[in-house]
Structure 1
Amino acid sequence: MNASLDISHNKMLLWLMAMACGLCAGANYYCQPLIASIQHSFQIPQSQVALTVTFAQISYALGLLFIVPLGDIVNKAKFIPLLMFGAAIGLGLCALSTNLYMLWIGTIITGLFSVAAQVLIPLVTLAVRPEKTGAVVGFLMSGLLVGILLSTSLSGLLSNLIHWKAIYVLSAVLMLIIALLLKTRLPRVSIIQMTYLKIFQSMGRLLKQERRLVYRSLIGGCVFAAMSMLFSTIAMLLTQPPFNLADVWVGIVTLVGVFGALSTQWVGRLADQGNNTILTWVGCTILAISWGLLYIGGNSLGFYTIGYGLISLGLAMVHSCNQNIIFQLNPIARSRINSIYMTSYFIGGACGSALGVFAWHHGGWPMTCLTGLSLVFAAAIFILFDQFHRPQPKANAESI
């Protein structure tokens, strides 16, 4: 990397990037606490409104798979603001929606283009010195995770104070402003010459040649599945006896996860020092302990809150280590590598959400906690595979 490209000391640019990551990631979660308000506004069945959440997840997954890999063959400095403009248009359509179908269209557009954050992170890894990669990526991941955690609380709060569309208006405006600020500030990095079809052929080769990418993707999918089980059951647990919390208080409980999200920069610094394996094990251990506390938390809000904070910390640690490792595998294929990893990550999240609902309806909170702990054990098995895997000789980078 050309030393003149190093942006690790450009605090203003890094803060803009972190805010962009948070806005893009959070944009897909605004609708979750707004289901009842949207239902009342459009006077339609709740089951139809709930599909908005599904469309947000599916469109984001499609963006991860089909848009993010383009980051390796296009000018990222121009591509990222363009994606953010697209996401702002989607948010604007949601804000202007007069019926559910218009809201769905806006949600799908937002989901597709909000993957800008997943192009931005690989760009940063090419614009900082290798020994700073973990710390800088960790800082951006803090912004991304805080954006996700604050999105539901903020959207619910604005819905109560103003209107359910207020969060979409605010987010669209902020997205446009930050996109414009980034447009002239993002560093230019080299790209490779490759057709769109060959991108996917090369991704298949990456899966065959980079076994650590496979293992780390499976680890990420398992731990995010465990966290997503909590997302899908938190309202069902805390709004019924013995807690009987109102929706706004459920959102406040989730804010404890912000402390875990803010740990990613610290984790990144330690990962830069070669501590990825031990940090991964520590994170996995924290995840296991958190499910024990969450089980006790079925009758104690204090234990539940501590467990929720710890599971957020454990997820942040494992995810940061995963990204620190995969971005070292093949520097010229980082967008494609991130596409593979994040697609696996969010597939895991979708499966975890479904497992959470299934476990809740078939065994209540004890079954939910047991299933969550099982996912952590599955992640531990893949960590062992990754730890004892002997890296194969690298292929010529140009062949990937």
Structure 2
Amino acid sequence: METPVNLAPFHPDAPHVQSLQPASLSGWIILIFALTCGLSVANIYYAQPLLDVMAADFGIEPASIGLVVTLTHVGYVAGLLLIVPASDLIDRRKLIICQILLSAAALTIVATAQHVAILFVGMICVGLLAVVVQVIVAFTATLAAPRQQGHAIGLVTGGVVIGILAARFVSGVLADFGGWRTVYLVSAFLMLIMGLVLARVLPGGAPSTARTGSYWAIVKSIPALFLRERILRERGILAFLIFASFSTLWTAMVLPLSTTPFSLSHTSIGLFGIAGLAGALAASGAGHLADRGHANLVTGLSLLLLSFSWLLVGLLPASLLLFVVGVVLLDFAIQAVHVTNQSVIFTARPDARSRVVGGYMVFYSTGSAVGAISSTTAYAQFGWTGVSMLGAAFSLSALLFWSSSSVMRQRQHNI
């Protein structure tokens, strides 16, 4: 059984205090971490601008093709629960390298699949192994100095966001050039190269705690952590809602843009990822503000902006320009909340970072899966208006939840 850890009451706007003594974290290692995270997380999102051609290739109905994205996130959730917690027990260096090399194999399976069942199994494996991102994020938090933790997490998470958004542009270009299978073959090659690089430069990754509990005890302790710590539950629910909103946009967007009146190519649709990237990178300072004690303020303003962004996104097809502005604002808001969430939860339980981030990302991935499958269904039934209303509902729910949680927390503080 896990040994209980006594913590002082945690406030989300308190400056970060960390009980563990970190090792040094060079800028070069941060860059490699960010690049690895970007390449790894991109594997989950390559399919989104390719859903139409994948549906045609395998004979899948457009209303059901969102299942490709959903199954990838199902695999991701499984990896968060079964793989990420292991890094609290074993050498993270070995775990990271192993996941990267196995990812290359899974991507090759997807690229060569000739039957839809093989495609689905391959996508589940891709998602399962992509959780290497969270092992790296937890490793970053362990190595970073206390007052730089949020900033370092923000930089590495910036690599994640670049991977998520640039994936759409890269996959669009490669698909127009050599078909959708080329996307996954190229990614498999890049992951293989990245695995070899990491084997040479990655520092030792000893477990973040001195605890010697069994693997299954560590895995089973994740629900207990979130039941015990209110701040973990709150940030997890916010992650579910904001990434359901995020996935609603990016999964369904290819459907109206690839048909009349736009009839855009996959390369052109991928450029919207570059537009979103500008907004997401602008939010990289959110972790720095959290370090300074402004986590709750950043969260509230970002959720308000997220809800507003859907008003502009919903103007498609009347105004493509305002749609792009909405995409930029949406990605800015979601990245700001996500970085702040991670900074807050790592501070709440510095002794269990891998388990905390694993549990948190279950909310993230579940929200992404729900957004993916519900957005294509909404589009099939109600068109882009239905998609916009769905995304706005997720965003407003997040804003209302944050507001009510903040009020309750303030009342308890005043008692």
Tell me, yes or no, whether TM beats 0.5: yes
Task: Kindly indicate whether the alpha-carbon contact (under 8 Å) linking 2:49 and 2:269 is maintained by their aligned counterparts in 1.
Answer: no
Give the drift of 1:102: 4.2
Q: Distance in 2 between matches of 1:378 and 1:35?
A: 28
Q: Aligned pair in 2 of structure 1 residues 34, 208: CA closer, same or farther (>3 Å)?
A: closer
Q: Aligned pair in 2 of structure 1 residues 78, 208: CA closer, same or farther (>3 Å)?
A: same
In the other structure, the counterpart of 1:336 is 355
1:199 and 2:213 matched: no
Q: Distance in 1 between matches of 2:234 and 2:97?
A: 32
1:188 and 2:205 matched: yes
Q: 2:231 aligned to 189, 193, 212, which one?
A: 212
Q: Distance in 2 between matches of 1:114 and 1:253?
A: 23
Q: After the TM superposition, which of the residue ranges 343-352 and 358-367 deviates more from structure 2?
A: 358-367
In the other structure, the counterpart of 1:135 is 151
Q: After the TM superposition, which of the residue ranges 144-153 and 319-328 deviates more from structure 2?
A: 144-153
Q: So what's the TM-score if we normalise by structure 2?
A: 0.86
Q: 1:257 aligned to 238, 252, 276, which one?
A: 276
1:154 and 2:170 matched: yes
Task: Kindly indicate whether the alpha-carbon contact (under 8 Å) linking 1:136 and 1:265 is maintained by their aligned counterparts in 2.
Answer: no
Q: After the TM superposition, which of the residue ranges 181-190 and 343-352 deviates more from structure 2?
A: 181-190
Q: Distance in 1 between matches of 2:224 and 2:290?
A: 27
Task: Kindly indicate whether the alpha-carbon contact (under 8 Å) linking 2:55 and 2:61 is maintained by their aligned counterparts in 1.
Answer: no
Task: Kindly indicate whether the alpha-carbon contact (under 8 Å) linking 2:101 and 2:195 is maintained by their aligned counterparts in 1.
Answer: yes
Task: Kindly indicate whether the alpha-carbon contact (under 8 Å) linking 2:275 and 2:328 is maintained by their aligned counterparts in 1.
Answer: yes
Give the drift of 1:213: 0.5
Q: 1:279 aligned to 289, 298, 320, which one?
A: 298
Higher RCO (C-alpha under 8 Å, 6+ residues apart): 2
Q: 2:95 aligned to 65, 72, 79, which one?
A: 79
In the other structure, the counterpart of 1:91 is 107
Give the drift of 1:20: 0.8
1:118 and 2:134 matched: yes
In the other structure, the counterpart of 1:398 is none
Give the drift of 1:182: 2.2
Q: Aligned pair in 2 of structure 1 residues 265, 35: CA closer, same or farther (>3 Å)?
A: closer
Alignment of 1:1-400 (within 5 A): 1-2=20-21, 5-7=23-25, 10-35=26-51, 37-38=53-54, 44-47=58-61, 50=65, 51-183=67-199, 184-190=201-207, 191=209, 192-387=211-406, 388-389=408-409
Q: Aligned pair in 2 of structure 1 residues 98, 142: CA closer, same or farther (>3 Å)?
A: same
Give the drift of 1:11: 1.8
Q: After the TM superposition, which of the residue ranges 299-308 and 330-339 deviates more from structure 2?
A: 330-339
Give the drift of 1:162: 2.9
**CA offsets 1:48-106 (integer angstroms, 9 cap, x no match):** 99454343222122112221111211111211111111111112333444554544443
Aligned residue for 1:327, secondary structure, equals helix
Q: Distance in 2 between matches of 1:80 and 1:90?
A: 15
Task: Kindly indicate whether the alpha-carbon contact (under 8 Å) linking 2:287 and 2:339 is maintained by their aligned counterparts in 1.
Answer: yes
Give the drift of 1:272: 1.2
Q: Distance in 2 between matches of 1:79 and 1:173?
A: 19
Q: After the TM superposition, which of the residue ranges 226-235 and 43-52 deviates more from structure 2?
A: 43-52
Structure 1 stretches lacking a partner, 5+ long = 393-400
Task: Kindly indicate whether the alpha-carbon contact (under 8 Å) linking 2:151 and 2:285 is maintained by their aligned counterparts in 1.
Answer: yes
Q: After the TM superposition, which of the residue ranges 17-26 and 288-297 deviates more from structure 2?
A: 288-297
Q: Aligned pair in 2 of structure 1 residues 386, 134: CA closer, same or farther (>3 Å)?
A: farther
Q: Distance in 1 between matches of 2:121 and 2:371?
A: 26
Task: Kindly indicate whether the alpha-carbon contact (under 8 Å) linking 1:89 and 1:106 is maintained by their aligned counterparts in 2.
Answer: no
Q: Distance in 2 between matches of 1:188 and 1:258?
A: 31
**CA offsets 1:306-360 (integer angstroms, 9 cap, x no match):** 0011100010011111111011111121111111111111111222223323443
Q: What amino acid maps onto 1:129 in structure 2? A: A
Q: After the TM superposition, which of the residue ranges 346-355 and 324-333 deviates more from structure 2?
A: 346-355
In the other structure, the counterpart of 1:396 is none
Q: Distance in 1 between matches of 2:393 and 2:235?
A: 18
Identity %: 29
Structure 2 stretches lacking a partner, 5+ long = 1-19
Q: Distance in 2 between matches of 1:363 and 1:91?
A: 34
Aligned residue for 1:28, secondary structure, equals helix
In the other structure, the counterpart of 1:395 is none
Q: Aligned pair in 2 of structure 1 residues 322, 109: CA closer, same or farther (>3 Å)?
A: same
Q: Aligned pair in 2 of structure 1 residues 13, 60: CA closer, same or farther (>3 Å)?
A: same
Give the drift of 1:362: 4.4
Q: What amino acid maps onto 2:323 in structure 1? A: Y
Give the drift of 1:256: 0.6
Q: After the TM superposition, which of the residue ranges 236-245 and 251-260 deviates more from structure 2?
A: 236-245
Task: Kindly indicate whether the alpha-carbon contact (under 8 Å) linking 1:224 and 1:352 is maintained by their aligned counterparts in 2.
Answer: yes
